[in-house]
Structure 1
Amino acid sequence: MKILILVLLSTFFISSCSEEIKLNRAQTKALERVNPKYPIQAARDRIEGYVKLSFDINVKGETDNIKVIDEAPEKTFRKQAVLAVSKWKYEPYVVNGNPVLQKNISVQLDFKL
């Protein structure tokens, strides 16, 4: 029964996790975004927070070089934020007919109950 309640709670919290997207490049066009999962322990403890990340978009439109640049509380949401951003897909930015690497894109993911 406890497991069922935890699954239901985590499903609720996953759907309530919001993300505030602040991309620093106009040429980024998201094709696929995966929302981060709300960590079960953070949900139990009613903890909210955010993670600011920077990343590159390679010539295939995949995220690379994902780095945490700020977070609160520390290490609570980091793993889920990085995992979600690693699954994002973008339309490659094309210059003179060739896709090019986009560096230092930044985003903030807010975790709210």
Structure 2
Amino acid sequence: MMIELVLASTLVSFVNTEMYEVDSCIGEQFALIEVVNPQWPIHSERFSGVGYVDFRVTVNSEGKVVEHQITRSQPRRIFDKQSLRALKKWKFDSSKHEERCFDVTFKYDSDKFE
């Protein structure tokens, strides 16, 4: 499992990396404190190509993911479980808002996973 610690030096409303994208539903600025990248699912070792899983997540005032919904995934259900395992370990910055909404996309590329 790869854990990526992100320093909250600047607030942003959108993050785009090789492994994931995060966008505030309302354009609110946020910081990612801790990110866990998903593992490549064992049952998909023969999969070659790219895939993704899109989530709509709700984060509480302490920065923990409290609700999630898969909005799209391609190929269907192949990467969902590993994406959810990683997402549940994410930590956002704290906020004065009781809840915040984010769109999160995990990107899977067979050429980039070990």
1:69 alignment partner in structure 2:
71
Question: Structure 1 pair 92/62, CA: closer, same or farther in 2 (3 Å)?
Answer: same
Spell out the pairing of 1:88-103 with structure 2 (5 A cutoff). 88-94=90-96, 99-102=97-100
Conserved? CA contact 1:71–1:78, under 8 Å: yes
Structure with bigger gyration radius? 1
Conserved? CA contact 2:19–2:106, under 8 Å: yes
Conserved? CA contact 1:92–1:100, under 8 Å: no
1:83 alignment partner in structure 2:
85
CA distance in 1, matches of 2:29, 2:62: 14
Spell out the pairing of 1:53-68 with structure 2 (5 A cutoff). 53-68=55-70
User: Between Structure 1 and Structure 2, which shows a larger proportion of strand residues?
Assistant: 2
For this pair of structures, how many residues does the alignment match? 93
CA distance in 2, matches of 1:30, 1:21: 11
User: Taking structure 1 as the reference length, what is the TM-score of the superposition?
Assistant: 0.72
Which has the larger displacement, 18-27 or 85-94? 18-27
CA distance in 2, matches of 1:69, 1:32: 23
User: Between Structure 1 and Structure 2, which shows a larger proportion of helix residues?
Assistant: 1
Of all paired residues, the percent bearing the same amino acid is 24
CA distance in 2, matches of 1:22, 1:32: 13
User: Taking structure 2 as the reference length, what is the TM-score of the superposition?
Assistant: 0.72
CA RMSD of aligned residues (A): 1.9
